[in-house]
Structure 1
């Protein structure tokens, strides 16, 4: 399904879509991330420009960052 929408799964498991195909692929990419528990990325000029992650992934990242910052002080 992902490949028909312009979504490619990179070697590191990230579901990538180019910015030129992003609008047409947005729903498929969100489903790939939400249901497939993958990280998604939007690419511009061949480089990842932004990531799409699940709410749980984001929450965990914020908690991890807070823990690291508390260790630095």
Structure 2
């Protein structure tokens, strides 16, 4: 199995953020004396922003504009 692309990782992070803020997931819980903790929401935001910057800086579309004087 190949490692996920940055775009796939970004989509996963955004899904986790959406689940957390919509009440579909919690940060931590305990069952039968075992504890499970998820990445804190602030860390997910930081990771999302970092992935967005990396994606935007790697092979994104560049638009060139030329301005001329009106006649």
TM over 0.5: no
Between structure 1 and structure 2, the one with the greater Rg is 2
Higher helix share: 1
Higher strand share: 1
TM-score (norm 2): 0.34
